[in-house]
A = this chain, B = another copy of it.
Amino acid sequence: VDLPLTLPEFEERAAGAIERGAFDYFAGGAGDEITLRDSVAAWQRLALRPRVLVDASRRSLEVTVLGRRRPHPLIVAPMAHQRLATPDGERATARAAVATQTPMCLATLASTGIDELAAAEPGLTRWFQVYVLRDRGATTALVEAAAAHGYEALVVTADVPVLGVRERDRRSRFETEEAQELPALRLLGREGRMIVGETASLFDPTVTWRDVERLASESPLPVLVKGILLAEDARRAVDHGAAGVVVSTHGGRQLDTVLASADALPPIVDEVGDEVDVLVDGGVRRGTDVLKGLALGARAVMVGRPVIWGLATGGAAGAQRVLELLLGELDNALALTGALHADGLDRSFVQHAPWANH
């Protein structure tokens, strides 16, 4: 296949490769999409401060996440309905993840089952994203299934008590017209298909920190709370047993005009970074963005939409290329900043960019 050279090109190609409603479902954000756009821009408001002549041959991308040494800091973010991007959906993503030694976080609303993914790609380091559902028994069933099938962490989504205002989906009527495969539904004793716009009705809006605490105490897996933007919420996560937090705006899909992850990250690292792992998610399009996230104190960086654009453009091979481009650029940036080691970064490598006031 003739794959693109940059992530923006992957997005452009994806727009032509899958149907408009599906593209908009993945690409769209809440409201005026201010946070969606700013998620990318916020990384660009950070300037790098490179050191030279430090023997760039000795570099390493390795990091430690949840106590385990990983070959690099990328993780595939949880994303629903990946069959909308490529016929075999999450299984294609998993092949790309295995090929690049990237952990992958399966979504509750995945179009591939917990067991199915584990069976298809046993070599995959897999995490599971869980919504606290109205049906708490089903929630427990999901969590137990994840543990039983070798998933290594639970990522609890905290920022969807109700669904955001997503006008692209309203406009495309995409949400309302076609049922998608949702194997997780079977654990709820329901048929395994659902209209996208109705899936949010499964989620429990009464969910609170006690639910996090219960999950953390009941499951053998470490629990990360995803969707944290304030230091005080990060503190609450730690107080309720979380092993980590994922600083995230839910891809700018939930509440418009919230801070971009890159801006929300530093105070959260200051608050809990010494106690638990802080991860960051949103707007990463370059290896330099990954490096900046690490420099601000993140232990790992989740990548979402670019993987979808990879899938849509070239299936598993496309997703793999996306991850390889990011890893190649990160390696290049570790050499050219003189940081050399992904786990050796700190804030001295970044500063507010002078061009960001222009």
Could you tell me which A residues sit within 8 Å of B by CB distance?
A: 5-6, 31-32, 34, 38, 41-42, 44-58, 158-159, 161-162, 164-165, 167, 170-171, 205-209, 211-212, 225, 227-230, 232-233, 236, 254-260, 263, 286-288, 328-329, 332-333, 335-337, 351, 353-358
How close is A296's CB to chain B, nearest CB, in angstroms? 13
A170: nearest chain-B partner, CB-CB = B5
CA distance A233 to B51 in the complex (A): 7
With beta carbons under 8 angstroms apart, the residue of B50, B211, B255 that contacts A337 is B255
The answer to whether A258 touches B48 (Cβ under 8 A) is yes
Which of A48, A167, A227 has the most chain B CB within a 10 Å cutoff?
A48
**Chain B residues, CB < 8 A from A358:** 41, 45, 356-358
The answer to whether B233 touches A52 (Cβ under 8 A) is yes
**Chain B residues, CB < 8 A from A162:** 56, 332, 335-336
CA distance A293 to B38 in the complex (A): 22
The answer to whether B50 touches A207 (Cβ under 8 A) is no
The answer to whether A5 touches B167 (Cβ under 8 A) is yes
Task: Knowing A162-B336, A255-B288, A332-B164, say if A354 contacts B38 (CB, 8 Å).
Answer: yes
The answer to whether A55 touches B257 (Cβ under 8 A) is no
The answer to whether B354 touches A49 (Cβ under 8 A) is no
The answer to whether B207 touches A53 (Cβ under 8 A) is yes
CA distance A337 to B198 in the complex (A): 22
How close is A270's CB to chain B, nearest CB, in angstroms? 16
CA distance A46 to B259 in the complex (A): 10
With beta carbons under 8 angstroms apart, the residue of B38, B41, B336 that contacts A161 is B336
**Chain B residues, CB < 8 A from A34:** 44, 355
A204: nearest chain-B partner, CB-CB = B57
CA distance A355 to B256 in the complex (A): 13
The answer to whether B49 touches A229 (Cβ under 8 A) is yes
How close is A245's CB to chain B, nearest CB, in angstroms? 10
Task: Knowing A57-B205, A228-B52, say if A47 contacts B336 (CB, 8 Å).
Answer: no
The answer to whether B258 touches A50 (Cβ under 8 A) is yes
The answer to whether B53 touches A209 (Cβ under 8 A) is yes
The answer to whether B355 touches A42 (Cβ under 8 A) is yes
A356: nearest chain-B partner, CB-CB = B358
Task: Knowing A256-B288, A257-B288, A288-B256, say if A354 contacts B42 (CB, 8 Å).
Answer: yes
With beta carbons under 8 angstroms apart, the residue of B32, B55, B58, B259 that contacts A49 is B259
The answer to whether A205 touches B355 (Cβ under 8 A) is no
The answer to whether B158 touches A53 (Cβ under 8 A) is yes
Task: Knowing A255-B48, A288-B257, A335-B205, say if A263 contacts B57 (CB, 8 Å).
Answer: no
